[in-house]
Copies of this chain bind each other. A is one copy, B any other.
Amino acid sequence: MHDIAIIGAGRIGRIHSVNAISEPRLAVKYIVDPVAKAANELAAATGASVASLDEILADPAVAGVVVASSTDTHLQFSAAAIEAGKAVFCEKPIDLDLKTAKSAASTLDSGGARLFLGFNRRFDHNFLQLRERIQSGEMGALETLHIISHDPSPPPIDYVRLSGGMFKDMTIHDFDMARFLLGEEPVSVTAMASVLVDPKIGELGDYDSVSVILKTASGRQCSISNSRRATYGYDQPIEVHGSKGAVAAENQRPVSIEIANASGYTRPPLHDFFMNRYTEAYAFEISSFIDFVESKSPASPSGTDGLIALALAEAALKSVKEGRAVKVSEITGPLADKSVFQGR
């Protein structure tokens, strides 16, 4: 049984708390949040105490810290917890700025540092199956990968303003998924971007509809399509084609019925929210974090995974701005050393 502390009593902090309660190896000891009301409510619901950052870091019983606060505090809180010797589960993204994130590497990547990054999709059992089927060799050599990821509707414009932009906010998940499945690092990125959904997003200099092609050193190709709009729900299928075969993960549906009438055969829409889509994945993510706390498994995703995804997002934006294919090395520079952030 491990005690953990959760920093951030917002939406995602609550999800992790609830899942932590159902995980027998875990006890939520503390909730940290500057908003007292939120902290108190979540503490009450989970049987935890409200505490300050200093208190949780000082408590030797706390084995792990979940950083689920606002994005601009991710690096700072993660670094503090790592310095205090805790294993850290940091929500993605590690930061919105690649340079800042890289400069923190010296702290986050020191001797015993242990950072586990919250790319929830890696814990979906269907996508895990894709990876297993690829790694088993069943598909032969991977050739092309196709990711569609369309959100039901755009977030509030205030969210968009602070989001870091489409590529860092939304495509970043797909960049990580692409790396998770491709079996090779992308070396080149080309992208196109438009404003088709909400002109206000365009006024912020951002996009709401983007298409990306990634290419690896051996020539594997990955297409990504992102949109802030899909009237039929949270649309996120993945298709992998290899020399021996293909494997696809279908969209998840909240209910498996089909209605037939004079209009045809209709299945209900997809999930309308990513948190419903990934209910099981979030639970498995916390379990995996505990495996990591117990040193049973590596940090996957690691801080470096977060850094590379961020670099791909910057490369994609550069590609759009400059109308050309961008080499990933143009962005990452001396990132070659994969140990950065990787922990343990």
A231 to B243, CA, bound (A): 7
Number of this chain's copies in the assembly equals 4
Q: By the criterion CB–CB under 8 Å, are B248 and A257 in contact?
A: yes
Contact B190 A192 (CB under 8 A): yes
Residues of B near A227 (CB, < 8 A) are 143-144, 241
Most chain B beta-carbon contacts within 10 A, residue among A130, A148, A263, A265: A265
Q: Which of A191-226 contact B (CB under 8 A)?
A: 191-192, 194-197, 209-211, 213, 215, 218-221, 223, 225
| Complex A-B: 24 CB contacts under 8 Å | A138-B259, A141-B196, A146-B225, A190-B191, A190-B192, A194-B215, A194-B220, A196-B219, A196-B220, A229-B243, A231-B244, A231-B246, A231-B260, A231-B262, A232-B261, A232-B265, A235-B260, A247-B259, A247-B260, A248-B258, A262-B269, A263-B269, A265-B266, A323-B325
Assess whether A215 is in contact with B196, with CB atoms less than 8 Å apart: no
Most chain B CB atoms below 10 A, which of A150, A195, A219, A239: A219
**Are B229 and A143 in contact (CB-based, < 8 A)?**
yes
A339 at the interface (CB under 8 A from B): no
A129 within 8 A of B: yes
A interface residues (Cβ-Cβ under 8 A, vs B): 22, 125-126, 129-130, 133, 138, 141, 143-144, 146, 148, 150, 188, 190-192, 194-197, 209-211, 213, 215, 218-221, 223, 225, 227, 229-232, 235, 239, 241, 243-252, 255-269, 323-325
B residues near A232, Cβ cutoff 8 Å: 245-246, 260-262, 264-265
- A45 to chain B: closest residue by CB: B24
Q: Given the complex of chains A and B, what is the CA–CA distance between A223 and B130 in angstroms?
A: 22
Closest partner residue, chain B, to A239 (CB atom): B148
A230 pairs with B246, CB closer than 8 A? yes
B267 and A265 contact, CB distance less than 8 A = yes
Instruction: With A190-B190, A194-B219, A211-B144 as known contacts, state yes or no: A244 contacts B261, CB within 8 Å.
Output: yes
Q: Are A260 and B243 in contact (CB under 8 A)?
A: no
The smallest C-beta distance from A48 to any residue of chain B, in angstroms, reads 15
